[in-house]
Amino acid sequence: MGPTVTTRDGRIEGVERDGVHVFRGIPYARAPVGPLRWRAPRPPQAWTGVRDATKAGFAAPQVPGATERIMPGPALETDEDCLTLNVWTPSTPAPPRPVMVWIHGGGFLTGAGSLPIYNGRFLAGGGDVVVVTVNYRLGALGFLAHPVLRDPESGAAGNWGLLDQIAALTWVRDNVEAFGGDPGKVTVFGESAGAMSVGTLMGTPAAAGLFLRAIMQSGSPAALPMDEAGPTAESVLHAAGCDVLEPERARALPLGALLEAQEGLWARRGMAQGLPLQPVVDGAVLERHPSEAIAAGLSAGVATISGTNRDEWEMFAMADPGAARLDDEHLQRRLSALLAAGNGRLGAEVGEVLRTYTGARAGRGQPVTPRDLWVAVQSDLVFRLPAIRLAEAQARVGAPVHAYLFTWESPAFGGALRSCHALEIPFVWGTHVYPGISTFTGAGPEVDALAARMQQAWLSFARTGEPADGVTGAWPRYDAGRRATVVLGPGGTVEEAPLDEERRAWTAAAVA
């Protein structure tokens, strides 16, 4: 018989692996199907007897994305009945341990907490913490938003996946003690859309008090206005066969039709135009943009790590045939269109930005082809500048804030990915040792040392609220004056205001 734990909903049985107890597929909410599609999650139904918790639950319905193609794993079993989580906890008794809750990325469209890259046994076993990974509703099922969909009980008109994350954190608060965890010492961390989720949770009143610390890897608070999200919902439902936006008819649409409509929407927009399905200011879950709530001090008590990878956009440029063919004229056109479409608030002049980026990169010995400049600008606009804004906002309200820049380069595709989006994930989890993943990260003593360093920092932060590692020592705090940033890569320690010429290329509105 495997290890057993009694949760508030019933007993579960897991397995022991290498001194770690593992429990998979634990329901934290009722299946959001039928009349519960596009509703706030309901508490799970209790069970009698002992529930098998040796197999992961279903992933949310999805179509695989770019990250999954680069870091392949076993095919995910998907179903709308997907609101489950997984727990890893050391088998040895001890005082209540810190808890680390992971929210996976994937553009709010793909991913699962059960992916091999998020195997919690390395962090739990080596770091003496309890690790939890969460599934939540994705794509149209998780983030379709429209006033007509408003849930009469919760008031929500979107944010279904965000509400799932809050329900999972509530489950952790109520149950993690049974797994040896401390519900008062929870760190929530995530990457990409997972980091966007973490940042959004920091600005969501209903999530206040559910976590003490937050780590955002390549992502910042996100929410669309309803007047932008509503037409997207109408477009998706129309493509799925619902000519009139009727909630009950929409809830009965076949899953395949919704996924196909969602894919069509993504194909029309593309990554450069932003994520069409994400949290929304719906007047109930989010009454204002989460960044505004953070700036007002909602998460002033939440210690924060915020960081990005140096060449984030390389991951997406590989899937963009036009990027390789860019010349100076077409680059200027792209950037002009980009600023006009959604970043005009930055107030930047395209020619001046390109001159600054060219000079700064040339001075560091970095390539300055039109494609390289496109990647650098997009990496900053989509990832680094928002991360800086978040760090500054938290620092202004007195929260302990730390920043990093990840610079290790992937050897995959002949090194073309450089320090791309998602590359840091296996280093944090220790899963860089898996053969399929090591092709992406590289292998050898330097890789192992960087992974150990990042795990030390993340675990130190989960225990104390202050990251520290064997190379840097205690990480300095971030503020808008010094901008101390820990460099995670070959020879990296602490740099003050890295890539600051590029940051200053944008007007004060970019970093306010």
Pairing of strands 15-17, 20-27: antiparallel
Burial 109-119 (b: 16+ CB within 10 A, else e): bbbbbbbebbb
Are residues 479 and 397 in contact, defined by beta-carbon separation less than 8 angstroms?
A: no
d(Cα 140, Cα 138) in Å, to the nearest integer? 6
C-beta separation of 316 from 301 below 8 A: no
Which of 146, 191, 192, 314 is an active site residue?
192
- What three-state secondary structure class fits 59? strand
Q: What is the DSSP string of 285-339?
A: S-SS-HHHHHHTTTTTT-EEEEEEETTTTHHHHTT-HHHHT--HHHHHHHHHHHI
Neighbouring C-beta atoms of residue 258, cutoff 10 Å: 24
238 tagged catalytic: no
Rounded Cα distance, 260 and 242, in Å: 13
Provide the angle, in degrees to the nearest 10, between the axes of the packed helices 255-269 and 226-240. 130
Beta-carbon contacts of residue 3 (< 8 Å; ≥ 6 apart):
13, 14, 15, 16, 21, 23, 91
Residue 219 contacts residue 201 (beta carbons within 8 Å): no
Q: Which residues pair with 406 in a beta bridge?
A: 309, 488
Instruction: Answer yes or no: 192 catalytic.
Output: yes
| Residue for token pair 């897991």 | 14
Residue 124 CA to residue 460 CA, distance in Å, equals: 13
The 3-class SS string of 177-206 reads: HHHCEEEEEEEEEEECHHHHHHHHHHCCHH
Annotation marks residue 421 as catalytic: yes
What percent of the chain is helix, strand and coil (3-state, nearest 5)?
Answer: 45, 15, 40
Beta strands across the sheet bearing 494-496: 15-17, 20-27, 84-90, 130-134, 97-103, 181-191, 213-217, 303-309, 401-406, 484-488, 494-496
Q: Which listed residue (21, 104, 146, 421) is catalytic?
A: 421
Rounded CA-CA distance 243/344 in Å is: 34
CA–CA distance, 474 with 82 (Å, rounded to integer): 39
Run of H or E residues at 390: helix 385-396
Instruction: Note the maximum CA span of the chain.
Output: 68
Distances (CA, A) of 389 to 310, 396, 485: 17, 11, 14
Residue of 312, 314, 392, 424 marked catalytic: 312
Give me 390's structure tokens.
């978040």
Active site residues: 192, 312, 421
